[in-house]
Structure 1
Amino acid sequence: MTTEDSPGTDVTGTDVADADFRRAAHATADLVSDYLADLPGRPVWQPMDETARRALLDAPLPAEGRPLDELIGAIGRDVLPYPMGNGNPRFFGWVNSAPAPAGVLATLAASAMNPSSAGGDHADVHLERAVVRWIAELVGFPHPAGGGLLTSGTSMATIVCLAAARSRAARRAGRDVREEGLAGLPPLVGYVTGETHSCVRKAAELLGLGSR
């Protein structure tokens, strides 16, 4: 069955796909809610069962997709039972934050939109700029004189910041790194303490500055 406005669209199939998604979405919400509710009573961390570990490591490349309910079942069976532990209230072993319920829900909406923040007049761009401004206000940064962007984590943020510093230092030396690259540029030196995180060294290496 097709419609005149959308030739070739299977209306019945679309309805079925929508019903499948709604059913799987509800199942996922229950699965995640149960997972978060059970965390306080679970061990903070425990090693994976060898069979479960090998099932993930040796999983064959699928030739085709699988039904959503089967996928959700696999997540509940093979993934959620073996967390890093950072969601447990007794977790003090690393810097990873615990999952926030608001963040879990917002991630679902963000994934549904799956936008690019490279530009354009859409909510994602303006929301990112607002959040960056909020962070600047929290730390007292003179935001009107600058800007920023959200990254996947501190390691990526360090690369971006060091790249900006590299470009500024090179420009003072009379060279445009974005146009001409690093060849012929005097050695650039960064000063860090002995407690500096390893991501700073990795960023220097990735940006061609060297870690010596």
Structure 2
Amino acid sequence: MTTTSTLDPENWDDFRAQAHAMLDAALDHIAGARDKPWRPVPSDLGQRYAIPEDADSGLPPEQLVEKIRRHVLPHHGGNTHPRFWGWVQGTGLASDVMAAIASTAINGNLGGRHHGANEMEREVIDWTRRVMGMPEGSSGVFVTGTSQATVLAFQAARVKAIKGLRTRGQAGVRLTAYAAAGVHNATKKALEALGIGSDNLRLVPLMDGKPDPTALRDMLAKDRADGALPFLLIGTAGSVDVGAFDDLNTLADLAEAEQLWLHVDGAFGAWTRLADEPWRSLSDGIGRADSLALDFHKWMYVGYDCGLVLMRDEEAHRAAFAARPDYLQGADTGLAGGEPWFCDYGIDLSRGNRAIKVWCALQMYGQAAFAEAITDNCQRAAQLGELVQAEPAMALGAPVISNVCVFTARSDLDSNAQSTLNAHIAQTLQDSGTAVFSTTKIGGTTLLRAAITNHRTTADDVTAAIAAVAREATASI
């Protein structure tokens, strides 16, 4: 009878050699990202990944490394490539490799207790708070992304609005929330998940591209007269379709006057706080929010998944989630110390160390490097817009505000023909590995869309991509 664990390598020296080979393969993949665009997934890939039902033993490490090299690394989602602009997805960083190695070795659970990873998360939260201009003492917790952060923020707002909600539920209270038309679908899903209902989301009309304050006040008055309890106002810092920003200072004034919780969806746009002008001022007022959702895995480029919710009122944040059964009681000293515990600020008790990716990135590159990269992404979007306007047949679908450019390849065609052509060009350039644009609709017409959150994108990439669009637009008609 052996006391040796069968899940540890039998020979650590052999495993070490194969782990080094895996590290080399991963670094080669990152270093060669420019030569690895997205490619269509082979039809038999699922079979290559299949786990045999009768497998009594696993693969030797060297065979596993080879399988990953051949069948895993080549079939990525494309977002590491410098001409991937289809959706707001980050590129990943070399520093993520360092973070993953350290995080894997420690295998920390950041739900609570007294160990170093919790201190790291607190420091990264505090750095983010300062960047966003939220006051000292604001609270936060790392989450999977803005969608989860939105649920946590809305729940805190709901608990604050209805006394005894955690034990009695809404008890027939009809809550209403308000956001500009075009707000991210995460808002709707969060309201549905919490039982508030998406029918109780009021879409505020726009005036000059921003929520109309007069219309909002009228909506609030009507809902209150109808017996509803308005509790939440949602602002957007960086809309999905065109990269637009609400006037956050105006929304903050309204929220204060109307006693509403102000939540800001800053999934990617919050990071304009690091950019040069004129882009930095787009997010002015963001620090006045009661809650802010943002992602590091978008415009801070770190690996998935890595999101954060910040809340101005630590007591309101904790009141929404804190719960300690007997087996989770804290202590003054020992491993059960280290208060406060992050499990009291969200729904997860088991939590990995997401903050280490941000910490490693800031340690390795410094804040200024991210400011430069974010600014450059905005400059590349502006360049793309200028190239579109220089092409006689092309036209912008909306002004280039931040890092998103929406355009048509042939403005001389009717709406249906434009829609067909733009969708065809997006598909063709994706399949060929030339560039990844996505599509969106404005005024009923399908347009090409580039959302640049890619630190590898250069001016030459933008020029080459527009040239490819122009060629396809000519060849397809």
Indicate whether the TM-score tops 0.5: yes
1:83 deviation in Å? 0.9
Q: Distance in 2 between the 1:16 and 1:54 partners?
A: 29
Q: Contact (CA 8 Å) 2:9, 2:15: kept in 1 or not? A: no
1:165 deviation in Å? 1.2
The equivalent position to 1:149 in structure 2, one of 138, 141, 144, is: 141
1:177 and 2:170 correspond: no
- Percent pairwise identity: 32
Change (3 A) 1:65 1:190: farther
Q: Distance in 1 between the 2:127 and 2:103 partners?
A: 20
Q: Contact (CA 8 Å) 2:110, 2:117: kept in 1 or not? A: yes
Q: Distance in 2 between the 1:29 and 1:188 partners?
A: 51
Q: Which amino acid aligns with 1:84?
A: G
Q: CA RMSD in A?
A: 2.4
Q: Distance in 1 between the 2:153 and 2:197 partners?
A: 16
Q: Which amino acid aligns with 1:30?
A: D
The equivalent position to 2:123 in structure 1, one of 112, 124, 130, is: 130
Q: Aligned residue for 2:160?
A: 168
Given the two structures, how large is their TM-score scaled by the length of structure 2? 0.39
1:60 deviation in Å? 4.3
Q: Aligned residue for 2:178?
A: 191
Q: Aligned residue for 1:38?
A: 32
Q: Distance in 2 between the 1:34 and 1:152 partners?
A: 27
Q: Aligned residue for 1:206?
A: 193
Instruction: Encode CA deviations 1:114-143: one digit per residue, 9 max, x unaligned.
Output: 211121221111000110000000011003
1:204 deviation in Å? 1.2
Q: Aligned residue for 2:409?
A: none
Change (3 A) 1:161 1:63: farther
1:186 deviation in Å? 0.7
The equivalent position to 1:159 in structure 2, one of 146, 151, 169, is: 151
**Structure 1 unaligned residues grouped into runs of 5+:** 1-6
Instruction: Encode CA deviations 1:144-178: one digit per residue, 9 max, x unaligned.
Output: 1x2111111111111111111111112xxxx3222
Q: Aligned residue for 2:211?
A: none
Q: Distance in 1 between the 2:189 and 2:179 partners?
A: 13
Q: Distance in 2 between the 1:179 and 1:65 partners?
A: 49
Q: Aligned residue for 2:447?
A: none
1:102 and 2:89 correspond: no
Q: Distance in 2 between the 1:207 and 1:63 partners?
A: 44
Higher RCO, 1 or 2 (CA under 8 Å, sep at least 6)?
2
1:52 deviation in Å? 2.1
- The structure in which a higher percent of residues are strand is 2
Give the length in aligned residue pairs: 197
Q: Aligned residue for 1:3?
A: none
Change (3 A) 1:186 1:96: same
1:195 deviation in Å? 1.6
1:14 deviation in Å? 6.7
SS of equivalent residue, structure 1 residue 66: coil
Change (3 A) 1:17 1:157: farther
Change (3 A) 1:65 1:158: farther
1:96 deviation in Å? 1.2
Change (3 A) 1:15 1:70: closer
Change (3 A) 1:15 1:139: closer
Q: Which amino acid aligns with 1:130?
A: E
Q: Distance in 1 between the 2:140 and 2:39 partners?
A: 39
Q: Aligned residue for 2:257?
A: none
Change (3 A) 1:65 1:15: closer
SS of equivalent residue, structure 1 residue 40: helix
Q: Distance in 1 between the 2:86 and 2:42 partners?
A: 21
Q: Which amino acid aligns with 1:152?
A: T
Instruction: Encode CA deviations 1:173-211: one digit per residue, 9 max, x unaligned.
Output: xx32222223x1411111122221111111111111111
Q: Distance in 2 between the 1:122 and 1:67 partners?
A: 34
Q: Aligned residue for 1:72?
A: 65
**Structure 2 unaligned residues grouped into runs of 5+:** 200-477
Q: Distance in 2 between the 1:24 and 1:38 partners?
A: 21
Higher mean C-alpha displacement, 129-138 vs 97-106: 97-106
1:18 and 2:12 correspond: yes
